[in-house]
Amino acid sequence: MEEKVYKKKKTSMYFYTSLKISIRNLLRTKLRTPLIIFAGSIGMIGIGLVLSIAKGVNLYIEDVQKQALANYPIYVFSQAKTEKRDDEEKNEPLEIYPDTDNIYVIKGNTRVDYYNVMDSNFVSYIEKLDKSLYTVIDFRRSIRMKILTFNDNTNYYSSVSYHYFKEMTENLEFMENEYELLHGEFPKNPYEVALVVSEYNSISASLLSSLGIDYSKDILKISDIINKEYRIINNDDYYVKKDNGYVINANYQDLYNKSKIHLQIKAIVRPKKGATTKLYSDCLLYSKELTDLVLQENLKSNIVQDQITYGTSFDVLYNKPFEVIKNFYLVESIMYQYQSRLLEFGVIPEINEIRIYTEMLQDRIKVRKYIDNYNDPNATFTIYYSDMLNNIIDEFHELVRVFSTVLIIFSSVSLVVSSIMIGIITYVSVLQRTKEIGLLRSIGARKKDIARLFNVETLVIGFMSGLIGIVVF
């Protein structure tokens, strides 16, 4: 008789079987299972609350930053450097706190060699600033235009200061967000201007008078303002060549009629409700194209061509050589006077200040570092900036960083506590079911199968806890 040899076979438990046993065990412990699931969901809800609070606080902080920073731009200025001259009179250095009755008189203490217009290389450098770091850059660019209008108050032709005309930013999206149109559209060509009024639809009588608009009424209609006309005078009409020099044509009516650049008020705008950045108030806005057009026209004029030809050697307007001007408090160099003359002729765009508006503190810090990194050894100007929120920004930025770190720690602690709690519950469950584990082992269940059984139970509890946490939260 042939003897049968017993061979040990490997056994295993299917995942589906593990899942059935786990669910059956969870259903059997009707009181403990809901309590475990509820306890786990509390941890999930706690994590959700902490994360929601963190997100809400960050959104609130961002909103506060946007409102606060919108009214406090970074002001960027330039200061013309002075040249050291060997032929310049040198004052002997004075003794500090001298023991004497003498009072010393300082003459020509301030020297200007260059007109204080923002360096073009620096303007180009700022234009390359990462657009994600700011909302708008206001270059405050202007050009000296000779403007005439027919004055509705006096029925005479009158001059209008170019200071009342401001070049509008090219960022139309910004304008549409911050300003609303009462009439017309924002200037889109060189011949259109927009009048800016306050949020009360008001404008000062003094400005209306300066703009040649009738201010005798207490209330004006839009029709009283729209299509009001202004004319820019060409240099060749304004500066008339006579003998070897030039004289100024004071016949305003003649100049008005000869003008080829006619401007009309085509829009009226005011700040929107909730506008955070009010760049303009009580002025006439015009497009960048008008500046470029006037610049090109002035460059072609006779007086400008003559002045460029003579350079710094001769003042064509007053028909005499440039000379250093000295008085009690100021010394004006020849270069300074030459640049001043070109500015007067309207062939140099004038930028004395740049305003950079940001929304976030981090962006503001990066903008300041970007300005600090500007370096041009050949520049005739010194660049500096003023940030009224400088110290507050650094402290607030540190406060935000600490607060965010604390919230992250709370979130991490909640997650760790929840995980430890589920682990303890699973461990206690293992200790309470030693007989069941022994029985399963006796019928061939592997250690891996037993581990899978408890892992499946933990997974089901975790899933149910998370689901309840999401629904409740």
pLDDT by residue, tens only, the chain of 473 residues = 455 555 555 556 666 666 677 677 767 666 767 767 776 676 667 667 767 776 776 777 677 666 767 778 888 988 876 665 544 555 567 788 888 888 887 766 677 777 778 888 888 999 999 999 998 998 888 899 999 999 988 889 999 999 999 999 988 988 998 999 999 999 989 999 999 999 999 999 999 999 999 988 899 999 999 999 999 999 999 999 888 789 999 999 999 999 999 999 999 999 999 887 888 989 999 999 999 999 999 999 999 999 999 999 999 999 999 998 887 777 888 988 999 999 999 998 888 889 998 888 788 889 999 998 988 877 777 888 888 776 666 676 677 677 767 766 776 776 677 677 767 766 776 676 677 667 766 666 677 777 777 777 777 777 777 787 777 66
pLDDT at 286: 96
DSSP letter assigned to residue 142: B
For 331, residues 6+ apart whose C-beta sits below 8 A from its C-beta are: 88, 108, 110, 111, 112, 324, 325
What pLDDT does 13 receive? 63
Instruction: Kindly calculate the radius of gyration of the chain based on its CA atoms and give it in whole angstroms.
Output: 39
Is there a contact between 458 and 466 (Cβ–Cβ < 8 Å)? no
pLDDT of residue 168: 94
| Contact by Cβ (8 Å): 415, 47 | yes
| pLDDT of res. 444 | 65
Which residues does 266 contact at the CB level (< 8 Å), separation at least 6?
184, 185, 187, 192, 193, 194, 226, 227
Other Cβ atoms less than 10 A from the Cβ of 354: the count is: 23
Output the CA torsion sign for 109, 114, 115, 121.
negative
pLDDT for 317: 92
Question: Beta partners for 362?
Answer: none
CB atoms within 10 A of CB 193: 23
C-alpha span between 208 and 339 (Å, rounded): 32
Residue 87 has a pLDDT of 47
3-state helix, strand, coil in the chain (%, to 5): 45, 20, 35
User: Which of 226, 211, 232, 203 lies closest to 160, judged by CA?
Assistant: 211
Pure H helices in 86-179:
120-127, 172-178
Q: Please, what sign has the CA dihedral across residues 213, 247, 305, 258?
A: positive
- The Cα–Cα gap between 281 and 271 comes to 9
pLDDT at 279: 87
Q: Which residue matches tokens 């004497």?
A: 100
In contact, 110 and 331? CB cutoff 8 Å? yes
List the 325-326 sheet strands across, edge first. 110-112, 330-332, 325-326
pLDDT at 454: 72
Burial label for 76, CB within 10 Å (0-12, 13-18, 19+), is buried
Claim: this prediction has a pTM higher than 0.85:
no
The DSSP H or E segment spanning 200 is none
Q: Name the nearest CA neighbour of 208 among 185, 225, 192, 189.
A: 225
Predicted local distance difference test score (pLDDT) of residue 86:
47
